[in-house]
Amino acid sequence: METLYSVTVGILTACSIFLILRGRSFPVVVGITMLSYAVNLFLFSTGRLTIDGAPILGTSDSYADPLPQALVLTAIVIGFAMTAYSIILAVRTRGEVGTDEVSDSNSEDNR
């Protein structure tokens, strides 16, 4: 299970990084959003994986580590705020600059 989980997180991260390295703002923002999912899964798993152990007192014998869950919750909300800001900034940039490219227009980078 642990192998499956970490491989999944790794692949999710790699796909996000690939998107982050694109030359247009929209895929980059999507990549960052997806990376935040991967990071949340990573952070969450630092409390190790527990099935049927939701940290609600009185529902189980052994509880999952609640602290990473709380951290991830904070991270999700902050991530939401950041995603919202960056996507609208991307719109504004396109409005002002006229293109959504995030690299210098003459170089080979801008694909």
Q: Within 43-102, which residues bind another protein (CB under 8 A)?
A: 43-58, 63-98, 100, 102
CB of 52 to another protein, least distance (A): 6
CB of 61 to another protein, least distance (A): 12
Contact 31, 22 (CB under 8 A): yes
CB of 51 to another protein, least distance (A): 6
Dihedral (CA of 93, 95, 96, 99) sign: positive
Cα–Cα distance for residue pair 110/23, rounded to 1 Å = 5
Q: Contacts with another protein in 18-47 (CB under 8 A)? A: 18-30, 32-47
- Interface size with another protein, residues (CB under 8 A): 102
The contacts of residue 54 (CB under 8 Å, 6+ apart) are 60, 63, 64
